[in-house]
Amino acid sequence: MANAGEPIREMGLGRPPNEDVQYCSRCCMPETSEGTIFDDMGICRACQSSEQKMHIDWAKRQKGLGRVLEHYKSISGNNYDCLVPISGGKDSAFQLHLLTKVYGMKPLTCTFSHSWFTETGKYNLWNILEKVDADHIMFTPNRTLVNRIARNSLQVIGDSCWHCHAGVGAFPLQVAVKFQIPLVVWGESVAEAGNKASYDDQVTFDENYYREISMKADADKMITDDISRRDLYPFQFPTKEELETVGVRGIFLGDYIFWDGERQVEFLKEEYGWREDDVEGTYKGYKSVECRMSGVHDYAKYVKRGFGRTTDHASQDVRAGLLTREEAFELIRELDGKRPDELDYYLEITGYTEEEFENILKAKRTGKAKDLV
């Protein structure tokens, strides 16, 4: 038995995929996950937040949400009540339902297009917009620029998606400033599935969050011989002065209401005809169903950190009581690390060989991940 104050190592229960790596003693998250910290019982922060979630007075928090929304509705005049960034995924679709049908808000919606939409994703996006009669703005960067950024992104941050990380945060804030809409409403709480926050520390989507969690690298690092500062304008966060002039505030609905992704998906399917599909890298048919490159992103994480998206999703299901830890490890061994078919497309648009792709990612390994085979 581990001594008090020392992390608990795996004893073989559930047969984790890597015996040399410490895993959370409750779920399946490994120590190679970015930002993971275990307490004295070997429990990760995401599991701690999950337990905390069950003891929150959600009725009180939901009343607080009502007060926030009523305030912004009362000052919007003839303008929109709020801005809702929407991808067509299950979270943003549920956000839109909740705000329009439950709280009677008139939102402006906006989408930063990563240029990698699946057909299912396109359907889900336009379907929910039509069903709730929401006004909508979409920005799509040109394909050549996306391809160039996707290439440089691998070297700078160790995945293919800097343009998406940066764009989905920056573009909505640009829209909020231009349309003078102070309230921006996001979906799932940062505490829900990761190790970056707890429910006691409600996160505001501000410049610090954008730079440290969303963007992952400053735009200056993306400048190359064929990517100029001017090219990167759509990915720039508004200035502090611009945000303060409008009074922009970003909130997460999951900090105010009990967030249950499984039930929300079933509701969206029944109420709006929202669609699932096969998603590379996971057994979940609704996680990032809108993006054809999500499997490449998660495969890059596997090469770099030794685990993929099945680990993320199975760990969430363990916390929710939908899987035992042993069942979760079975899924992880079966699905994590499978080469995604869309990797061929990524290599085509970036000009990398598969060997170059893997070598770049292996060079990004830090901490315990350096010991991965």
pLDDT of the chain, 373 residues: tens digit per residue:
333 333 333 444 458 888 889 999 999 999 998 878 899 999 998 899 888 888 899 999 999 999 999 999 999 999 999 999 999 899 999 999 999 999 999 999 999 999 999 999 999 999 999 999 999 999 999 999 999 999 999 999 999 999 999 999 899 999 999 999 999 999 888 777 665 556 776 667 777 777 777 778 888 899 999 999 999 998 988 999 999 999 999 999 999 999 998 899 999 999 999 998 888 888 887 777 888 899 999 999 999 999 999 999 999 999 989 999 999 999 999 999 999 999 999 999 999 999 999 999 999 887 767 666 6
Domain enclosing residue 307, as ranges: 277-371
- In this predicted structure, what is the pLDDT of residue 198? 67
- The whole-angstrom distance between residue 239's C-alpha and the CA centroid of its chain comes to 24
Answer whether residue 20 is part of any domain. Answer: no
CA atoms lying within 13 Å on the CB side of residue 147: 11
CA distance 235 to 160: 15
| Measured distance CA(36)–CA(312) in Å, rounded | 12
Whole-angstrom Cα distance, residue 98 to residue 267?
12
Burial class (CB in 10 A: 0-12, 13-18, 19+), 362: middle
Residue 226 belongs to some domain of the structure:
yes
Q: What's residue 95's pLDDT? A: 95
Do 241 and 285 lie in a common domain?
A: no
On whether residue 45 sits in a domain, the answer given is: no
Examine residue 354 and state whether it is found in any structural domain, yes or no.
yes
Q: Check residue 272 and report its DSSP letter.
A: H
Residue 251 shares a structural domain with residue 281: no
| Domain identity same for 301 and 161 | no
Residues 249 and 284 in one domain: no
pLDDT (0 to 100) of residue 287:
78
Q: What is the CATH number of the domain that holds 235?
A: 3.40.50
Co-location of 66 and 172 in the same domain: yes
Compute the distance between CA of residue 289 and CA of residue 360 in angstroms, rounded to an integer. 27
Last residue of a domain, one of 255, 289, 304: 255
Same domain assignment for residues 243 and 287: no
Do residues 231 and 292 share a domain? no
Give DSSP secondary structure letters for 153-179. Answer: HHHHHSSS-HHHHHHHHHHHHHHHHHT
Contacts 24+ apart (CB under 8 A), 64-73: 64/256, 65/253, 65/256, 65/257, 66/103, 68/183, 68/251, 68/256, 69/99, 69/103, 69/105, 69/183, 72/182, 72/183, 73/104, 73/105
pLDDT at residue 11, rounded to an integer: 43
304 and 334, same domain (yes or no): yes
User: CB-hemisphere CA count at 13 Å for 207?
Assistant: 11
What crossing angle do the helices spanning 309-319 and 294-305 adopt, rounded to 10°? 90
The verdict on residue 48 lying in a domain is: no
pTM of the model: 0.88
Residues 77 and 129 in one domain: yes
Residues 108 and 249 in one domain: yes
| 90 in a structural domain | yes
Start-to-end Cα distance in the chain: 28
Which residue in 187, 97, 184, 180 sits closest to 133, CA to CA? 97
Q: Do both 193 and 283 map to the same domain? A: no
Our count of domains for the chain comes to 2
Both 76 and 189 in one domain: the answer is yes
- End residue of a domain, out of 198, 220, 255: 255
C-beta of residue 319 within 8 angstroms of C-beta of residue 262: no
Residue 245 placed within a domain: yes
Within-domain flag for 317: yes
* CA distance readout (Å), 52 to 48, 201, 209, 250: 6, 12, 22, 23
Contact call for residues 91 and 268 (beta carbons, < 8 A)? no
Specify the pLDDT at position 13: 45
pLDDT at 9 (0 to 100):
37
Helix (H) or strand (E) holding 84: strand 82-85
